[in-house]
Amino acid sequence: MRRTSAYSFTLGGTVALLMLSATVACTVAANQERPRQIQLREAEELLSEAVALARDGKFADLCHTAGSRSNCRSILEFATSEGQLPNDEMPLVVDVRRYPATDTRPEHLVLRVQGRRVDGATYETDFPVIRANDGDAASLYPVYWSGMTFSAAAQSCNEQVGEVCAQTRIDAPPE
């Protein structure tokens, strides 16, 4: 009888420890922070910063703030080689689209902006914003006058550039 009581006590203690471990694990998983949703205000502030940098002629500095520096540099090189430069005016936000996070990519908030370049030509460009690993919002490619459009046709986000996931499909502007 003693052996059965000792066995029951040991089994009961083991079950209690397993239950406690499971409760702690579930509590920790439930309390892990999900990235904050990108706010429209944050995206508009990033757009204002990009416009200020371009207005001051600090085009190279745009790509230092980009979530995808390599994409930004490519877009900037293309735009400037074609003589596409923005005028000093703040572009008009004509549409806002939110792409929720998936297993393969982070949330994106995309501002569609319209404006004029210095040569008088109009542009319509997507200005995608994501949440960086440090928790700050970052524009993937802040060359807002380029005419580029964003496509969430999901490629998996598996390449790190700087602090944020940066593999994004970019569609060239229509000719």
The whole-number pLDDT of residue 64 equals 85
40-171: CATH, from 3.40.91, 3.40.630, 3.30.2450, 3.10.450:
3.10.450
Residue 92: strand, helix, or coil: strand
175: pLDDT strictly greater than 50? no
160: pLDDT strictly greater than 70? no
State the residue for tokens 């490519």: 74
Per-residue pLDDT reduced to its tens digit, 5-23? 554 544 454 444 434 344 4
Where do the domains of the chain lie? 1-32, 40-171
Claim: this prediction has a pTM higher than 0.85: no
Report the half-sphere exposure of 23 (CA within 13 A, side-chain side).
6
